[in-house]
Structure 1
Amino acid sequence: MKKNFLVLILAFVLASVILPTVSQASTNDEGINEKLGLPIVVYGEALSASQKAEVAKLLEVDKHEQVDEFTVTGQDIANYIDGNPNSNMYSSVKILHKDEGNGLNIEIVTPDNITQVTTEMYKNALLTAGVENADVMVASSVKVSGHSALTGIYKAYDAKGVKLDKDRMKVASDELDVATSIADKEGMSDEKISQLLTEIKKAIAEQNPATKEDVEKIVKDQLAKLNIELSPEDRQRLIDLFDQMRNLNIDFDKVRNQLDDLTGNIQNLINDDGFWNKLTAAIKSFFHALSNFVSSLFS
């Protein structure tokens, strides 16, 4: 009994001390920024009144004196990325524009309800679309894949007079589809697929490929470098995706620092697998010890 009690205390202390508590995209109220404008909140049209109130709380809307509010619809997804106009839109976002050099910071407030898209995937896709220097929070009151949040961000920028290139927005959406599809189909971790996409973009920035064959070589080189094996179909999807980007003349050099930062963040997550496995084991041990302890009280 003493041993179980000691294990319980040790596991509890371990879990309480090292569980992460710092969010990636702080959006605390700093008053009204007259230069950058009001915070923007975009709600999914399919939300009920109670769900909208829940999302507003999750996005900490009440921390701001004023916000610009918009609603994203199925028609918006058709207008911005040629999607299905009958789509139900649940994912909602809050955006704070930042000064040049602050970078793009993403926080998924409801990770349990955004089932496919990770912060790294969002960041990669938004950089492709041309979104920079902003703090973005994503939330949903129901389980969704998370793809529609991109459309909400596009609408927010459009509503504020910032015109993003439609072809870049469409390719960014395709990038998100390819990333989530390959991760699911190939059994690859989200971090690994995000690392692959980031490294390919960095190689494109360095090599400035002139032909589709050049893009194919970059994709194959990065797959080999990261020791990733894909089916011929998925490898071709990557080649086609990045060839589209090449044809759009996206200047990845411009966001190179953010791509480098993204690589570092992803690598940290990959390297931390052992740490999180140990933490998970400690928490399981905690509840197992707690169960044994309670049982011993009645035995």
Structure 2
Amino acid sequence: MRKIFMAASALLLVIGGLLPMSVKADTAIDEKLGVPIVVLGANLTDAEKESVKKNLKVEDAAEVEEIEVDGNDLVKYIKDGNNKARMYSSAKITRQDEGKGLVIKIVTPDNITQVTNEMYATAMLTAGIEDAIVEVAAPKPVTGHSALVGIYKAYEVSGETLDTERTDVANDELDLATKFAKDSGIDKDKVAELLTEIKKAIADNKPATKEEVEKIVSEQLKKLNIELNEADRQLLIDLMDRIRNLDIDFGKLSEQLSDMATTIKEKFGEIDPGFWEKVKQFFENLFDSVKSWFK
């Protein structure tokens, strides 16, 4: 029994050594960029708000600013938005220094059913949001769309100004991304990769006409081996042509999208690629040792 206990202890020590080390949160107030902003869906109950704040680890911050997002905000940032829309998904935004890029984390993945980290990120780049840590949460299953509006509001509260034409296009981009994943059966990460690669090609090649945008879309669909029906393909072309016509610094966007593309391709890179092989080898050695005890 003592040997088994020692083996179990060794197992915990080895796995603890193999897993990436967690980083202690910095609880100091950032006097340059401001405190994190927590934006809560207006339709949450008091109990749900507390649940969301717990998931977003609000208590770990030295100080936060709390705001609510409702249907009136939806109308502000999205054309033809419904001011009666119910808002549940919430977010915490922590601004970062220029050049740090976007870090997106859905902290309640079981409750954000349609939108992925990458979908949020690519839409936020379209909207003009960059250099921030964004965490998204909901207390019950929701699609996750309203969190984007909350992110817009929080970003402006932090002192930035967003172009509402860009936020409108970004919302349509998110809608189209979730539509492709839901209705066309395309993997969510593949959808995010498609949108990122098309926008990167637009940023790099600077198409002057809608026909040139259509060519880029066709090339990327073929490259990623994605098939869309004609109606969805046209929706994608129309959206990307709108993005082409936005007042965007495409040189800067190209760099951001390159980082985004790398992030998507290395989605599972947070853990050492050899981690699971080390664990497998450890268990094989452990089982061999345990068997030898009973011979």
TM-score bracket for this pair, using the shorter chain length: 0.7 to 0.9
Mapped pair 1:31 → 2:28: yes
**Cα distance change, pair 270–96 in 1 and its aligned pair in 2 (3 A):** closer
Deviates more, 1:122-131 or 1:257-266: 257-266
C-alpha displacement at 1:265, in angstroms? Answer: 2.3
Q: 2:39 aligns with which of 42, 52, 59?
A: 42
**Structure 2 spans left out of the alignment, 5+ residues:** 1-6, 281-295
* 1:73 match: 70
How far apart, in 1, do the equivalents of 2:86 and 2:19 lie? 32
Query: What is the CA deviation profile of residues 98-154 of structure 1, one whole-angstrom value per residue up to 9, with x for unaligned ones?
Result: 001110100000000000000000000000000000000000001100010010011
Q: Secondary structure at the match of 2:266?
A: helix
In the TM superposition, 1:86-105 aligns within 5 A as 86-105=84-103
How far apart, in 2, do the equivalents of 1:132 and 1:269 lie? 19
Please say if residues 195 and 263 of structure 1, whose CA atoms lie closer than 8 Å, have aligned partners that are also in contact.
yes
C-alpha displacement at 1:161, in angstroms? Answer: 3.0
Query: What is the CA deviation profile of residues 139-192 of structure 1, one whole-angstrom value per residue up to 9, with x for unaligned ones?
Result: 000110001001001111222331100000000000000001011111110111
Q: Whose relative contact order is higher, 1 or 2, with alpha carbons under 8 Å and at least 6 apart?
A: 1
Query: What is the CA deviation profile of residues 251-270 of structure 1, one whole-angstrom value per residue up to 9, with x for unaligned ones?
Result: 23213333122212222349
Q: 1:170 aligns with which of 153, 168, 171?
A: 168
Pairwise CA RMSD of aligned residues?
2.8
Q: 2:119 aligns with which of 112, 117, 121?
A: 121
**Cα distance change, pair 193–157 in 1 and its aligned pair in 2 (3 A):** same
How far apart, in 1, do the equivalents of 2:129 and 2:114 lie? 21
Q: 2:109 aligns with which of 104, 108, 111?
A: 111
How far apart, in 2, do the equivalents of 1:157 and 1:205 lie? 24
Deviates more, 1:60-69 or 1:261-270: 261-270
How far apart, in 2, do the equivalents of 1:268 and 1:52 lie? 33
Q: Secondary structure at the match of 2:44?
A: coil
* 1:257 match: 255
How far apart, in 2, do the equivalents of 1:106 and 1:222 lie? 25
C-alpha displacement at 1:249, in angstroms? Answer: 3.2
User: Residue type of the partner of 2:38?
Assistant: V
Please say if residues 27 and 96 of structure 1, whose CA atoms lie closer than 8 Å, have aligned partners that are also in contact.
no
In the TM superposition, 1:216-227 aligns within 5 A as 216-227=214-225
Q: Secondary structure at the match of 1:43?
A: strand
TM-score (norm 2): 0.82
TM-score (norm 1): 0.81
**Structure 1 spans left out of the alignment, 5+ residues:** 1-8, 283-299
C-alpha displacement at 1:17, in angstroms? Answer: 4.8
User: Residue type of the partner of 2:78?
Assistant: I
